[in-house]
Amino acid sequence: MTIESLPLDPELAHQLSGVTTATLTTVLLKKGLRNVWVRGAMPIKDGQPRRVGRAFTLRFVPAREDLATPASWASPISTRAAIESMPAGCIAVVDAMGITDAGIFGDILCSRMKMRGVAGLVTDGVIRDKAGVLGTDLPVWCAGTAAPPSVVGLTFVDWQQPIGCGGVAVFPNDIIVADADGAVLIPADLADEVVSVAVEQERLEGWIMTQVAAGVPLPGLYPANEENKARYETWVKTGR
């Protein structure tokens, strides 16, 4: 049984759109979560916009010759059927087991995802038809490209179930933030708490950058000691 997709609060999404994945990994580390960065999932092109959305999960297992065939693409359990269940604003997170010699999606599937309003694709696998995929303008984070289709190395089995992607446990409706440094998972139940801390951390680091630019030495500044914390609080209140 698949897990129902939930909407993401627009204000929370807006706040996260201004937070880097680097900041998020630090905030999550302070909460004891070390394994949140999806290994292998990097932007397919430079300048790709940051994307925030709830995870819509898909899962592949190793190819089995009687199941992993071109005919399977017409099955009720297929990537095609999964795409038709994706809600607008979600980020498709695909467990391809790190396989890099079989492309899980090509230009046609990515075009359909874009048409449905999917915010992005994150996978530890690879895509195919790179030029066509780029032409769809669907933001993609993946481990590269390969010409062969998915059934050469993978069998698609399910969607909207817990998966492992890039070594990270991803549950449907967890929150994904993806930018130039890759993709990071925020557990759904921690979202509000993480966002409030992360937004403040971004503001603090912005102030620290102004101090670095002014020639202030790093010891006592990053991380801030009590004196610099007081200076920062004054800046927050007065703007100077």
pLDDT in tens, the chain (240 residues): 689 999 999 999 999 999 999 999 999 999 999 999 999 999 999 999 999 999 999 999 999 988 878 888 778 889 999 999 999 999 999 999 999 999 999 999 999 999 999 999 999 999 999 999 999 999 999 999 999 999 999 999 999 999 999 999 999 999 999 999 999 999 999 999 999 999 999 999 999 999 999 999 999 999 999 999 999 999 998 877
Q: Please tell me the distance from the alpha carbon of residue 12 to that of residue 104, in angstroms, as a whole number.
A: 31
pLDDT digits (tens, 9 = 90+) for 113-154: 999 999 999 999 999 999 999 999 999 999 999 999 999 999
CA distances for 125 relative to 9, 23, 93, 100, 229, angstroms: 29, 25, 10, 6, 43
What is the structure's pLDDT at 148? 97
| Domains in the chain, CATH or no CATH each | 10-189 (3.50.30.40), 194-238 (no CATH)
What is the structure's pLDDT at 1? 64
Contacts of residue 47, defined as CB under 8 A and 6 or more positions apart, other chains included, come to: none
Percent of the chain with pLDDT over 70: 100
